[in-house]
C-alpha cells in the first residue's frame, strides 16, 4: 500500500511547528501503524545520509514519536490520526492500529495530542507529567509495605471488583484529554478515584483522595467537564463516564463534610 | 575471585535460612536512614516497589526511568498472573511445593536458598497488593480466584483478567507516587543511565542522560540498585517493549560486576507469528490461555498444504486428523508443560513440516472445546482482552478460528550475579528483578517474574540493603565533583561524540536487525557448536561494521531517539557475543538452553550435572579480550536432582 503522510514537525516546545509531507510506498496491510512510522523514519534517515536528497532539501530527519510496548498496554503512544485520538479503529491504542484500516493511496494526517495540559516536547511527543502529578496528589491507598492482613481477610463483592478493574484498565495515554474540547482530565482522574473507591481498602480515604486529586487537576489548568462524552468514545479501554459521576459524588460528599 | 563469588547463603534448614539471616543482618536507625541516599534505576515491578519501600523506610531515594512515567515500564505488559503459595483452592499447595516446582522448572540451575525465600515471601505479596487496591479476580463469595500455569499441578496463580502485570505495576507505582508526594523519593523521568561510577571499587553513583535536553548529569548515592529488566531485545524481535534494554546491566558488567548465565534466555511458546520483514516486535499471548486452549497441528501433510493455501479452515479439519502433540507427548501436564518444553515441541513440529501458516512457522491454539464446555461468555470473561488483541493484530476472530502462535524471545534468566543479599560483586551495587540472574535457573515458570520482581523490591532488598548501608552511616554524601565522576562522564560524552562522528551509510536499526538474525538463527531455540562459533565471528564483524558505518542524525542536545537506539545497539553488539560465548561453553542442555548435541533420543534436554551444575560467571577484562569465566557451584542439599519429567 502507498500513502501520503502529513506529519506534524516541531523542533521543541518553543518552536512554531509545521506539517511535513512525505510519500511512503510498499507498506504491508498487516503492518502496524507504528511499523509504518518506522519505515518512514528509515526513509527520512536515509535521505539525511544521501547527499543528493539533502541537496534537494530533504533534511527533516526522523519523526520523534513515543512508543514502547506496542501491544496496547503501556499507554505511551499518543498520535492524533486523521482527527481522531489513536486513529480510525475503535477500542485500541495507536500501536494496535493496522494499515489494513486505511485505503491504498490515502492521505493520512498525523498530529500530537494537542491540549494545554500536555505540551509538545518534539514532533509527536508530548509531556504528560501533569498526569503523574495528579496521581501523586492522592491516587493511592495510604499503606506502607508489610504488616498487612491476609488477602482474603476482607471479602469483596465480585461486581465491585470487576467494576474497579474496568476503571483500573486506564492506561494513562491522555486520549480523553486530547479529545475533550475543554481539555478536561475528568475521565482519567475519575478512573483512578472510582477504581479505589469501589474497594473496601480504598474506601477509607475515598473523600480525601477525590478532593486532593481534583484540586491538583484544577491547579494544573485542565478544563472543566461539560458532559459531551467524547472522552468515553475515544478511550482505547472504554472507560465509562459513570466513573466521572462517582467521582463527583465523592467530591461533593467530601465538600459537604468540610 | 572465588572470594568475590561468595553466595552468602545462610547455613541451616531451608525453611529457617531467611528468618535466621534477617535476624543476623544489621539495621539502620530511622535518624540515620535520613542521611543515606539510594539510587534506583528502573521503575518496573522491582524498581518501583523497591523505591517505594525504601522511601517508606525513610531513605533518600532517587528513582530513574527512561519513559515519560514510571507506569510505562514493561512489567505493565505481563498478562497472566502472579504465583503465591496461599493454597486458597485447598489443592495441597505449600511454600515447599512452590519452591520445588520453581527449582525443577528451572532445570536445577538455581540456588535452593534463594528460591525457597522467594516462595516464602510470595504470600506477603498478595496481601500487600490487595491492600493497595489491586483488583484481583474474585469468586462470587468475595474471595480471591486462582488459575493454573505451566509447570505446576496446582492452581496458585492470582490474576486480574489478562492484565495482571498492569495492575501490580499500578499498585507499585501508586506506592511510589505516595512517596514522591511525601518527599522521600525524587523521580527522574525520561532519564537514562549511561554508566556506573565507582570510587575505590565501590558503586557511588551513575551518569545519566536527560532524554529531552541531552544534558549529561551526575548523581551520587551510598548505594545503587539496578532494576532495569532483561536484555531480550538483543534479538531485535522479542516480546519486550521497544525501549527495554540491557545497557545499564552491561555498563555494570564493564565496570566489573560479574554476569551470571548470560545465555539463559526464555523463549515463550505462545506469541503471534511474524508477519513479514516490516515486523518491529512480537506480541505475546498469555500462557494462561493454555489453561483452556489446546495446541495442535494437522496429522496429515495434505491438510497442512491446504491450510497454507487457504483451501481449508482449521475448524474444518476433523478431530481425528489433529495432532494435539503436547497432550500426546506429555500426558501428565498436557498443554501446561513449562515454556521451554512447549516451545521446543512447536519447533519440532514446524521443522518436521507441519507449520500451519504460509511461512511454516505457526501452530494452532484452539479454544473450540473450551467454548463448547464453558460457553463463550466464560472464555470472554477470562481472556476477552487477549482475544481482542489477537483479532486487532491478525484480523482473525479467535472465537471462530483457532489462534496461530509461534515461540518468541520473552525473558532472560541471566543477569547481574548477586549474592543472597542481592548485592553484586561490586560493593554497594545491587540488582533486582529480571536484571539479576538469581532465581529462575535455566527456565522461568510462568507467573514467577512478577513474583520475583515484587519479592525483591518489597520484601528482600529493603532488608538486605540495610546490612550494607549500616556500615555507611558515617560516610558523607557522595561528592559528584570527585574526579571519578568527571572521568566517567568524559567517557560517556566521548562515546556519544564518536557515534555522531562516524557519519556512515546505515541507520541504527539496520545493525539491530542484522544482530537479531544472527542471534535468533544461532543463539535461539536450538544451539550447536558450529552455529555458536559462527555467531561469535559474525557479531564481531557486525560490531566493527557498526562503528565504521552507522549514521546517527541530529545532535546530543535534543530529544534524539536515534541516538538512544545507537547507544543501546552498541551495547547489544557486545552483549550478544557474551551470550554466544556462554552458550558455547555450556555443553549441556538445560531449561531454555538447548544444545542440539545434548538431547535424548526423544529430543528432550540432556543435562550434564557432573560438569555443569554451576552458574557460569563471566568477568569483563577489557575490550576485545576474551572474558574470564568463574564458576559458582550449585549445591542441592534438600532437593533430589532428577530428570524433569512432565510425562507421567
Give domain limits for chain A: 3-122, 128-257
pLDDT-based confidence at residue A54 (cuts at 50, 70, 90): confident
> How many other CB atoms are there within 10 angstroms of residue A30's CB atom?
16
> How many other CB atoms are there within 10 angstroms of residue B306's CB atom?
16
In angstroms, the CA B238 to CA B73 distance is 16
Residue of A nearest to B381 (CA): A162
Residues 2-41 of A with CB under 8 A from B: 11-12, 27-28, 30-32, 34-36, 38-39, 41
> How many other CB atoms are there within 10 angstroms of residue A254's CB atom?
17
Asked if B280's CB is within 8 angstroms of A73's CB, the reply is: no
Express each pLDDT in B139-174 by its tens digit.
999 999 998 888 888 999 999 988 999 999 999 999
pLDDT-based confidence at residue B4 (cuts at 50, 70, 90): low
Q: Is B210 on the interface with A (CB under 8 A)?
A: no
Residue of A nearest to B551 (CA): A49
Section A29-57 average pLDDT: 93
Q: What nine digits make up the cell of B369?
A: 472445546
Q: Is A125 on the interface with B (CB under 8 A)?
A: yes
Q: Looking at the domain assignment, is residue B598 inside a domain? A: yes
Distance to chain A for B509, nearest Cα, Å: 8
Section B605-634 average pLDDT: 96
pLDDT-based confidence at residue B645 (cuts at 50, 70, 90): confident
Q: Which CATH number does the domain housing residue B552 bear?
A: 1.20.58.100
pLDDT-based confidence at residue B1 (cuts at 50, 70, 90): very low
In angstroms, the CA B232 to CA B266 distance is 9
pLDDT at position B150, please? 81
Task: For chain B, give the percent of residues with pLDDT over 70.
Answer: 99
pLDDT at position A257, please? 84
Distance to chain A for B140, nearest Cα, Å: 5
pLDDT at position A56, please? 86
Residue to mutate among B33, B359, B392, with most A CBs inside 10 A, is B392
User: B398 and B490: one domain?
Assistant: no
pLDDT at position A21, please? 96
Q: Is A177 on the interface with B (CB under 8 A)?
A: no
A121 CB neighbours in chain B (<8 A) are 212, 559
- Average pLDDT over all residues of chain B: 96
> Is a pLDDT exceeding 70 seen at residue B360?
yes
Spatial CB neighbours of B606, under 8 Å, sequence gap ≥ 6 = B588, B589, B598, B599, B600
> Is a pLDDT exceeding 60 seen at residue B437?
yes
**Smallest Cα–Cα separation from B329: which of B295, B367, B363, B365?**
B295
Asked if A62's CB is within 8 angstroms of B144's CB, the reply is: no
Predicted structure pTM score? 0.97
> How many other CB atoms are there within 10 angstroms of residue B11's CB atom?
9
Residue to mutate among B130, B272, B284, B388, with most A CBs inside 10 A, is B130
pLDDT at position B70, please? 98
Residues 81-120 of A with CB under 8 A from B: 89, 91-92, 96, 98, 100
Asked if B175's CB is within 8 angstroms of A156's CB, the reply is: no
pLDDT at position B643, please? 84
Distance to chain A for B175, nearest Cα, Å: 7
Order across the sheet with B628-633: list the strands.
B415-416, B259-260, B614-619, B628-633
Distances, alpha carbon B460 to alpha carbons B38, B213, B433, B441, B448, in Å: 15, 36, 11, 19, 16
Residue of A nearest to B66 (CA): A68
Q: Looking at the domain assignment, is residue B29 inside a domain? A: no
Q: Looking at the domain assignment, is residue B629 inside a domain? A: no
- Do residues B240 and B412 lie in contact, with contact meaning Cβ atoms separated by under 8 Å? no
Q: How many domains does chain B have?
A: 2
**Smallest Cα–Cα separation from A87: which of A181, A186, A179, A184?**
A179
Section B263-281 average pLDDT: 92
- Do residues B292 and B371 lie in contact, with contact meaning Cβ atoms separated by under 8 Å? no
> Is a pLDDT exceeding 70 seen at residue A145?
yes
pLDDT at position B317, please? 96
Residue of B nearest to A152 (CA): B143
Q: Looking at the domain assignment, is residue B418 inside a domain? A: no
Asked if A158's CB is within 8 angstroms of B138's CB, the reply is: yes
Q: Is B509 on the interface with A (CB under 8 A)?
A: yes
Distances, alpha carbon B385 to alpha carbons A151, A246, B180, B286, in Å: 25, 25, 32, 11
| Least confident window among A42-56, B215-229, B429-443 | A42-56
Express each pLDDT in B378-390 by its tens digit.
999 888 888 998 9
**Smallest Cα–Cα separation from B573: which of B535, B628, B619, B615?**
B535
Q: Is B143 on the interface with A (CB under 8 A)?
A: yes
Q: Looking at the domain assignment, is residue B99 inside a domain? A: no
Handedness of CA B471, B428, B203, B195 (dihedral sign): negative
Q: Torsions phi, psi of B576, nearest 5?
A: -60, -40
pLDDT at position B384, please? 86
* Direct distance between the N- and C-terminal alpha carbons of chain A, in angstroms, rounded to an integer: 61
For residues A41, A44, A49, A55, the Cα torsion angle rounded to the nearest 10 degrees is: -170
- Do residues B82 and B168 lie in contact, with contact meaning Cβ atoms separated by under 8 Å? yes
User: Angle of helix B561-585 relative to helix B529-549, nearest 10 degrees?
Assistant: 160
User: B381 and B496: one domain?
Assistant: no
What ipTM was assigned to the predicted interfaces of this complex?
0.98
Please name every residue paired with B436 in a beta bridge, in sequence order, or none if there are none: B416
> How many other CB atoms are there within 10 angstroms of residue B25's CB atom?
17
Rg of chain B on CA atoms, in Å: 24
Looking at the domain covering A128-257, what would its CATH class be?
mainly alpha
Q: A3-122: what fold? A: Ubiquitin-like (UB roll) (3.10.20)
- The whole-angstrom distance between residue A23's C-alpha and the CA centroid of its chain comes to 27
Asked if A38's CB is within 8 angstroms of B509's CB, the reply is: yes
- Do residues A174 and B160 lie in contact, with contact meaning Cβ atoms separated by under 8 Å? no
pLDDT-based confidence at residue A222 (cuts at 50, 70, 90): very high
Q: By 3-state DSSP, what share of chain B in percent is helix, strand and coil, each rounded to 5?
A: 45, 15, 40
Q: Which H, E and C letters describe B202-267, residue by residue?
A: EEEEEEEEECCCCCEEEEECCEEEECCCCCHHHHCCCCCCCCCCCHHHHHHHHCCCCEECCCCEEE
In angstroms, the CA B327 to CA B331 distance is 5
Distance to chain B for A68, nearest Cα, Å: 5
> How many other CB atoms are there within 10 angstroms of residue B254's CB atom?
16
Strand A79-81 and strand A125-126: the pairing is unpaired
Using DSSP, state whether B186 is helix, strand or coil.
Answer: strand
Final residue belonging to a domain, choices B380, B408, B436: B408
Return the exposure string of A112-130: e unless at least 16 CB atoms fall within 10 Å of the residue's CB, then b.
bbebebbebbbbbbbbbbb
CB pairs under 8 A between A and B: 218
**Smallest Cα–Cα separation from B165: which of B61, B240, B107?**
B240
- Closest Cβ opposite residue A140 in set B88, B178, B189: B178
User: B389 and B520: one domain?
Assistant: no
Residues 547-566 of B with CB under 8 A from A: 551, 553-554, 558-559, 561-562
In angstroms, the CA B176 to CA A171 distance is 17
- Closest Cβ opposite residue B53 in set A128, A145, A195: A145
Section B51-63 average pLDDT: 98
pLDDT-based confidence at residue B2 (cuts at 50, 70, 90): low
User: B404 and B489: one domain?
Assistant: no
Host domain of residue B368: 269-408
| Least confident window among A126-140, B110-124, B274-288 | B274-288
- Closest Cβ opposite residue B133 in set A64, A157, A199: A199
Amino acid at each position: 500500500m502507498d500513502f501520503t503522510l502529513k506529519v506534524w514537525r516541531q523542533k521543541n516546545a518553543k518552536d512554531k511547528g509545521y506539517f511535513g509531507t512525505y510519500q511512503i510506498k510498499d507498506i504491508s496491510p498487516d503492518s502496524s501503524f507504528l511499523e509504518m512510522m518506522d519505515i518512514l523514519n528509515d526513509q527520512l534517515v536515509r535521505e539525511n545520509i544521501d547527499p543528493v536528497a539533502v541537496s534537494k532539501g530533504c533534511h527533516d530527519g526522523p519523526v520523534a514519536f513515543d512508543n514502547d510496548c506496542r501491544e496496547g498496554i503501556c499507554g505511551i503512544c499518543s498520535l492524533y490520526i486523521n482527527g481522531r485520538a489513536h486513529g480510525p479503529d475503535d477500542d485500541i491504542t495507536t500501536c494496535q492500529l493496522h494499515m489494513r484500516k486505511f485505503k491504498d493511496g490515502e492521505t493520512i494526517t498525523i498530529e500530537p495530542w494537542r491540549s494545554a495540559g500536555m505540551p509538545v516536547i518534539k514532533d509527536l511527543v508530548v509531556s504528560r507529567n501533569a498526569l503523574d502529578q495528579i496521581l501523586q496528589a492522592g491516587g493511592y491507598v495510604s499503606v506502607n509495605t508489610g504488616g498487612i492482613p491476609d488477602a482474603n481477610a476482607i471479602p469483596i463483592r465480585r461486581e465491585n471488583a470487576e467494576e474497579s478493574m474496568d476503571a483500573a484498565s486506564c492506561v494513562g495515554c491522555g486520549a480523553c484529554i486530547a479529545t475533550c474540547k475543554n481539555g478536561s482530565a475528568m475521565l482519567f482522574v475519575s478512573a483512578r478515584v472510582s477504581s479505589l473507591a469501589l474497594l473496601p481498602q480504598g474506601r477509607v480515604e475515598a473523600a480525601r483522595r477525590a478532593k486532593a486529586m481534583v484540586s491538583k487537576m484544577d491547579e494544573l489548568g485542565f478544563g472543566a467537564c461539560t458532559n459531551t462524552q467524547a472522552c468515553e468514545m475515544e478511550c482505547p479501554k472504554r472507560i465509562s463516564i459513570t466513573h466521572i459521576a462517582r467521582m463527583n459524588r465523592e467530591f461533593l460528599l467530601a465538600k459537604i463534610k468540610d | 575471585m572465588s572470594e568475590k563469588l561468595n553466595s552468602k547463603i545462610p547455613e541451616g534448614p531451608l525453611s529457617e535460612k531467611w528468618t535466621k539471616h534477617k535476624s543476623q543482618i544489621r539495621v539502620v536507625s530511622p535518624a540515620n536512614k535520613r542521611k543515606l541516599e539510594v539510587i534506583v534505576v528502573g521503575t518496573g515491578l522491582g524498581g518501583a516497589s523497591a523505591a517505594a519501600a525504601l522511601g517508606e523506610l525513610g531513605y533518600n531515594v532517587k528513582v530513574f526511568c527512561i519513559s515519560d512515567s514510571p507506569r510505562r515500564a514493561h512489567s505493565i505488559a505481563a498478562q497472566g498472573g502472579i504465583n503465591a503459595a496461599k493454597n486458597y483452592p485447598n489443592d495441597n499447595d505449600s511454600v515447599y511445593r512452590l519452591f520445588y516446582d520453581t527449582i525443577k522448572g528451572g532445570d536445577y540451575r538455581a540456588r535452593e536458598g534463594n528460591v525457597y525465600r522467594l516462595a516464602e515471601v510470595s504470600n506477603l505479596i498478595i496481601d500487600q497488593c490487595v491492600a493497595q487496591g489491586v483488583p484481583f479476580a474474585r469468586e462470587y463469595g468475595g474471595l480471591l480466584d486462582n488459575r493454573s500455569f505451566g509447570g505446576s499441578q496446582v492452581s496458585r496463580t492470582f490474576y486480574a483478567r489478562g492484565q495482571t502485570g498492569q495492575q501490580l505495576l499500578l499498585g507499585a507505582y501508586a506506592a511510589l507516587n505516595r512517596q514522591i508526594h511525601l518527599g522521600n523519593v525524587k523521580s527522574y523521568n525520561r532519564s537514562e543511565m549511561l554508566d556506573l561510577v565507582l570510587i575505590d571499587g565501590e558503586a557511588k553513583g551513575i551518569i545519566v542522560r536527560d532524554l529531552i535536553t541531552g544534558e549529561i548529569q551526575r548523581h551520587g548515592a551510598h548505594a545503587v540498585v539496578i532494576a532495569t529488566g532483561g536484555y531480550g531485545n538483543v534479538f531485535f524481535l522479542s516480546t519486550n517493549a521497544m525501549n527495554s534494554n540491557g545497557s545499564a546491566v552491561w555498563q555494570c558488567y564493564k565496570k566489573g560486576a560479574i554476569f551470571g548465565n548470560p545465555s539463559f534466555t526464555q523463549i515463550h511458546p505462545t506469541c503471534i507469528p511474524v508477519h513479514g520483514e516490516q515486523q518491529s516486535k512480537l506480541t505475546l499471548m498469555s500462557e494462561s490461555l493454555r489453561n483452556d486452549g489446546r495446541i495442535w497441528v494437522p496429522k496429515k501433510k495434505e491438510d497442512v498444504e491446504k491450510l497454507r493455501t487457504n483451501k481449508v479452515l482449521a475448524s474444518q479439519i476433523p478431530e481425528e486428523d489433529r495432532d494435539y502433540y503436547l497432550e500426546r507427548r506429555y500426558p501428565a501436564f498436557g498443554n501446561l508443560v513449562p515454556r521451554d518444553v512447549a516451545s521446543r515441541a512447536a519447533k519440532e513440529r514446524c521443522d518436521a513440516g507441519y507449520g500451519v501458516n504460509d511461512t511454516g512457522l505457526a501452530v494452532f491454539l484452539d479454544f473450540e472445546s473450551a467454548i463448547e464446555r464453558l460457553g463463550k461468555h466464560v472464555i470472554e470473561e477470562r481472556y476477552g482482552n487477549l482475544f481482542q488483541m489477537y483479532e486487532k493484530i491478525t484480523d482473525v476472530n479467535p472465537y471462530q478460528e483457532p489462534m496461530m502462535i509461534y515461540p518468541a524471545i520473552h525473558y532472560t534468566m541471566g543477569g547481574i550475579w548477586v549474592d543472597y543479599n542481592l548485592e553484586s560483586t561490586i560493593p554497594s551495587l545491587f540488582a533486582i528483578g529480571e536484571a539479576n540472574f538469581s532465581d529462575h535457573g535455566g527456565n522461568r515458570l510462568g507467573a514467577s517474574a512478577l513474583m520475583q520482581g515484587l519479592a525483591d523490591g518489597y520484601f528482600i532488598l529493603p532488608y538486605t540493603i540495610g546490612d550494607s548501608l549500616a556500615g555507611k552511616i558515617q560516610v558523607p554524601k557522595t561528592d559528584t565533583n570527585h574526579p571519578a565522576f568527571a572521568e566517567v562522564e568524559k567517557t560517556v560524552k566521548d562515546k556519544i561524540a564518536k557515534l555522531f562522528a562516524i557519519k556512515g551509510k546505515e541507520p541504527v536499526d539496520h545493525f539491530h536487525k542484522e544482530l537479531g538474525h544472527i542471534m535468533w538463527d544461532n543463539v535461539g531455540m536450538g544451539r550447536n557448536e558450529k552455529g555458536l562459533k559462527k555467531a561469535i565471528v559474525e557479531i564481531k564483524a557486525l560490531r566493527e561494521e557498526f562503528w565504521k558505518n552507522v549514521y546517527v542524525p541530529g545532535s546530543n542536545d535534543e530529544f534524539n531517539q536515534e541516538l538512544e537506539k545507537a547507544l543501546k545497539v552498541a551495547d547489544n553488539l557486545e552483549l550478544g557475543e557474551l551470550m554466544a560465548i556462554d552458550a558455547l561453553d555450556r555443553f549441556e542442555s538445560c531449561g531454555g538452553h538447548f544444545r542440539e548435541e545434548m538431547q535424548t533420543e526423544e529430543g528432550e534436554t540432556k543435562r550434564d550435572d557432573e560438569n555443569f551444575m554451576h552458574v557460569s560467571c563471566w568477568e569483563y577484562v577489557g575490550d576485545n579480550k576474551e572474558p574470564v569465566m568463574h564458576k559458582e557451584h550449585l549445591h542441592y542439599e534438600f532437593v533430589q536432582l532428577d530428570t524433569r519429567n512432565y510425562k507421567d
